[in-house]
Amino acid sequence: MKTIIAYLQPKKKVILLGLFIKFAGTVAELLLPWILAVILNQYAPAKNWEMTIRWGIVMLLCATFALIANVTANRMATRTSRDITYRIRGDLFAKVMNLSCTRADAFTIPTLISRLTADTYHVHQLIDRMQRIGVRAPIMLIGGIIVTLLIEPVLSLVLLAVLPLLAFIVLRVSAGGTKLYEKTQKSLDHLVRRVQESMAGIRVIQALSKSEYEKERFDQANSEVVQLERKATLLMNVTGPALHFLLNGALTMVVVVGAYRVNRGLTQTGTIIAFLSYCTLILLALMAVSRMFMMYSKGAASANRIAEVLETPTEKMPENSAAGQEENHISFENVSFSYDKVIENISNLSFQLKKGQVLGIIGPIGSGKSTILQLLLRFYQPDQGTIRINGKELAAFSESELYCKFGVVFQNDFLYAHTIENNISLGRQLTETQLQKAIQTAQASFIYEKEGGLEYEIASKGQDISGGQKQRLLLARALAAQPEILLLDDSSSALDYKTDGQLRQTLKQNFAGITKIIIAQRISAIRDADQIIVLEEGKVIGQGSHQELLKDCQYYREIAQVQMGEGMSDE
């Protein structure tokens, strides 16, 4: 909660003003039963209508002031909670965007989505309701008890006898509720992951007639959330009936003892009526306190989950020397890496590329090809070895300095539900010349066949265009800012051979000076590379030119024979 409390500091004056207004309005409400007792005990029996009317007007003014004060304070609370939640959500999103891949993997994407949505909503409710109820309910409770002690001490003892038991129930239930709501939020993360997976693969699920299977998986996750929510709600709902039972029992005793005291002439009817009114206010205040603890249980659990992300330390980069004089543009020196720190995904990898050279990477699925790109982009830190760009260790670059060097197309890249131009520029200030050059190089002339051309709005994830068109848009995006290094991860797999050949030809012509690393399953996409690496289970099993690998690497030669009919004649 400390992290969330820090967000309240800038609004401290507004919050205090709102609490003061709420306090004043609550005090005015507390005066109403007391004024009623004065009228009934002193002026109504004496038929003093002038004083009765005057006190009635005072009572009306107090009620009006209480109404205005409470409405004003509630509106201030709404604005304050809205602004604070806006900042929390903004900072949380910025933090998530800057999390390293290692940190993001540890949290998982579904739980980060849940924290950005459901948890921020619960914190918003906590901040809002605490300002509304957090002052009014305690003041109404404490103030009501004090006034009842002043006007009828004997009857107050009956009421006070049950308060310790009520407090014990509320505190115990709230403590258990917080733990249950934390478990519920974790279960909700699991449900979000299920939904995310099902939505991402909905076409495959329908094509394979697995809708019922997915419904069963969803029902399991949904049932888990419902059960935990049910347990938490049932526990928290214990307070309501318990409060009603104990307070109604106390009120019954008050009525019996009050009637006895009135008959004995020890108190007056107006005092009993006022006392019962205060008892009702105390009951409502206790119910509000009960709801407040329920909201606190949810809000505190969510606040802790949000703080966990916000307080995640930034991964420190190792100490590095300044850039050295090196002719290589990119170099990997004995690099090893493991995601789980048990099985190595990349083992002792070394290669060097001069500026403008092309590196091709090929290998079976799961061999570590994409991991090389993620290490070069510094999404993950290598466990051993060194990566350099222009002789400077990768860790020595600032984020802005590093990422402006790259143009990237990943296997499962994204497209916004926006215009084609916005999907290519991605918020970068690109010139018309840069856009046209990138589109022409990426063989994406189909854009101009769409209604509106660059202004044509595509669906989310590019669902209304073909796989090949999507890949060409992504290539245009990667090339548009004229990067120093181009990383292509199986980015032409959906292209036909003619378009693929034209793409490679225009890349050579228009972007000859940039260094390229191309991951491919087709040998035709990398056969002209200056250097080709063949990976298997994270280990290099072949390294050299196309012709060299045909002679020396059996795996590469077998692929070439299957795809292109090459290699077997050399044996």
Q: What is the pLDDT of residue 99?
A: 85
Beta bridge mates, 162: none
- Which domains, from first to last, does the chain contain? 1-152+291-315 (1.20.1560.10), 330-564 (3.40.50.300)
Residue type, 330: I
Q: What is the pLDDT of residue 196?
A: 73
Per-residue pLDDT 10s for the chain (571 aa) are 677 888 888 888 999 999 899 999 988 988 888 888 888 888 887 888 888 898 889 999 999 999 999 999 999 999 999 999 999 999 999 998 888 888 888 888 888 888 888 889 889 988 998 888 888 888 888 888 888 888 888 888 877 777 788 777 777 776 777 677 778 877 877 787 777 777 767 767 777 677 788 888 888 888 888 888 888 777 777 777 777 787 778 778 878 888 888 888 788 878 888 888 888 888 778 778 777 777 787 788 888 889 999 988 876 555 544 555 567 899 999 999 998 888 899 999 999 999 999 999 999 988 999 999 999 999 889 999 999 999 899 888 888 888 889 999 987 778 888 888 888 888 888 888 898 999 899 888 888 888 888 898 888 877 888 888 888 899 999 999 889 999 998 887 778 778 888 888 888 888 888 999 999 888 888 888 999 999 999 999 999 999 999 998 999 998 888 887 655 444 4
Q: What is the pLDDT of residue 568?
A: 45
Q: How far apart are CA 225 and CA 184, in angstroms?
A: 6
Give SS3 for 376.
helix
CB neighbour class for 231 (10 Å; exposed up to 12, middle 13-18, buried from 19): middle
Q: Please, where are the H alpha helices in 10-119?
A: 12-38, 49-98, 101-107, 109-114
DSSP assigned state of 265 = T
Q: Which residue's structure tokens are 């005793």?
A: 253
Q: How far apart are CA 143 and CA 251, in angstroms?
A: 18
358-362 and 531-536 beta bridge pairing: parallel
